[in-house]
Chains A and B, each alone.
Chain A
Amino acid sequence: MHIPDGVLPTAVCLGGYATAGAAAWFSLRKISRQENPREGMPKASLLTAAFLVASWIHIPIPPASVHLMLNGLLGVVLGYYAFPAILIGLFFQAIMFQHGGLTTLGVNATVIGVPALLAFYLFRLRNILGRENRVLTGLFGFLAGGGGIALAAVAAFFILVTTIPAHLDVEAEQASIYALTLAHIPVMILEGVFTAVVAVFLQRVKPELLEG
């Protein structure tokens, strides 16, 4: 899901920077309107570290190995801080692990960060049904965690499938993109369960840490 340098056309890379810039501006504006914008910084900083390290833990599912993304979890715990956190995490991943690249940083931030914001909105829906309900917290945690990955995988799928260069064996490349997208289904379930467990745990121990 981290698209590297040299795979996408320049126009798509620029478009990615535009959408990522808009999302970052939106998130930062929402953060600055909060009562105490500094309050969320410690957990945002720590979860950026978790996000950074998580992409290094590989789960071998052919044809490629996939890794934990944690974008849904970041959305649930960080709320509007999730997008800047993901942007910073992706920057370090690009320069240290060569996961993704600097030209595709905007595209990757959009593909991974916007679903994190949507996961946050989804998780917030539990307030309508009852904030204290542990089963509901777990359920919405699962949906947010799994949904974050699912949306990111679908977005990456569309970007990759529509930009295959003509000089490649298009069918072979398409087939491997399909396979890679399907390989994210187990990760989706895994992250859904992980996010649900974290959400239920925080709800019981320190509910103010959960955004929304």
Chain B
Amino acid sequence: MKATVTVKYFEEGEVKDGELMMNGMRSFIFLAAIIFLFSLPAAAFGHGVNIEYQTTKAVEFTASYDTGEPVSNGQVTIYSPDDPSTPWKTGQCDEKGRFTFTPDPSMQGTWDIQVRKAGHGGMIHVNVDGEEAVAGSTGYTTTQIVLMVACVVWGLIGTALFFKRRKN
């Protein structure tokens, strides 16, 4: 059994540095005046909210067994390009074997992702440095496997026939 890991990138809007700006006394007086004058139910208008954002590149992957079944709740270990021996992040796939993470843009290079469950699993190497979104997967297609198996089985039958041949 193996785990097939497919990877794609997508642009992800990320809320960053959510910042609350309180305008202090002036706002308070303004608010109090409104309440007083119009006797409306109070609402907290007084805090200005400033949201900064930036888009970032995320890696989403899906792990499945070669039967097509997802590796549900498979354990994910991610190694960064800077330190391929210490886990950079660990986590767990969802029920459908999916997992998403945002690589640190300051670390360019190949990220190694391992998915494991009950001693079965797979590893995929994702190159995060280009600007374009890429997709990839591990493993061979069924046609390739059938062709390879046919060749090897034919070789083994040939071996059997060679040793079975009549001696002259």
**A-side interface residues toward B, CB under 8 Å?**
2-7, 38, 41-43, 45-46, 48-49, 52-53, 56, 58, 60, 63-65, 67, 92, 96-99, 156, 160, 165, 167-169, 172-173, 176-177, 179-180
The count of residues in chain B whose C-beta lies closer than 8 Å to any C-beta of chain A is: 37
> A64 touching B121 by the CB < 8 A rule?
no
Asked if B2 and A169 sit within 8 Å, CB to CB, the answer is no
A6 x B159 contact (CB < 8 A): no
Tell me which residues across on chain A come within 8 A of B140, comparing CB atoms. 96
By the criterion CB–CB under 8 Å, are B119 and A7 in contact? yes
Q: Mark B90-118, 1 if CB is under 8 A from A, else 0.
A: 10100000000000000000000010111
Query: A-B pairs with the 7 shortest C-beta distances?
Result: A41-B163, A176-B118, A160-B119, A98-B2, A42-B160, A45-B160, A180-B118
How far does the alpha carbon of A165 sit from the alpha carbon of B121 in the complex, in Å? Answer: 14
Which of A6, A38, A67, A176 contacts B114 (CB under 8 A)?
A: A6
Known: A160-B118, A173-B75, A177-B119. A46 touches B2 (CB 8 A): no
- In whole angstroms, how far apart are the Cα atoms of A4 and B164 in the complex? 35
Known contacts A98-B139, A156-B119, A56 near B149 by CB under 8 Å: yes
* Interface 9-residue window, one of B8-16, B39-47, B64-72, B128-136: B64-72
Instruction: Please state if A92 and B152 are interface contacts (CB–CB under 8 Å).
Output: yes
Of the candidates B2, B65, B114, B163, the one whose C-beta lies within 8 Å of that of A45 is B163
- Interface residues of B, Cβ cutoff 8 Å to A: 1-2, 65-67, 69, 72-73, 75, 77, 87, 90, 92, 114, 116-123, 138-140, 145, 148-149, 152-153, 156-157, 159-161, 163-164
| 5 interchain pairs, CB-CB under 8 A | A4-B122, A38-B163, A43-B160, A49-B152, A168-B75
Select A7's contact among B72, B121, B149, beta carbons within 8 Å.
B121
A67 surroundings in chain B (CB, below 8 A): 1
Expressed in whole angstroms, the minimum distance between the Cβ of A53 and any Cβ of chain B is: 6
> Are B163 and A42 in touch, CB under 8 angstroms?
yes
The interface centre, meaning the residue of A3, A38, A168 with most chain B CB atoms within 10 A of its CB, is A168
A168 touches B148 (CB 8 A): no
- The listed residue (B73, B120, B156) touching A4 by CB distance below 8 A is B120
Tell me whether B119 and A65 are in contact (CB under 8 A): no
Q: In the complex, what residues of A have CB within 8 A of residue B72's CB?
A: 63
In Å, the complex CA distance between A167 and B114 comes to 12
